Structure 1
Amino acid sequence: MRILILSAALLAGTAACTWVPIEAGGKAVRVLPAGPVAPGCVAKGEIVVTVKNKVGFYNRNPLRVQEELETLARNEAPSAGANAVQALAPPADGSQRYSAWQCPPR
Structure 2
Amino acid sequence: MGSKQEGTVLGHKAYFEAKLEERRSYLTERGVDHKTIAKDDVIKKIKAKIKETNVRIKAIAKIKRRTEELAKIKAERLAAPKIEKGVKGKEPKASPETGKEKKKKKKKEAETEG
Mark yes or no: TM-score above 0.5.
Answer: no
Which has the bigger relative contact order, CA under 8 A and spacing at least 6?
A: 1
More helix by share: 2
- TM-score, normalised by the number of residues in structure 1: 0.26
- TM-score, normalised by the number of residues in structure 2: 0.24
Structure with the greater alpha carbon radius of gyration: 2
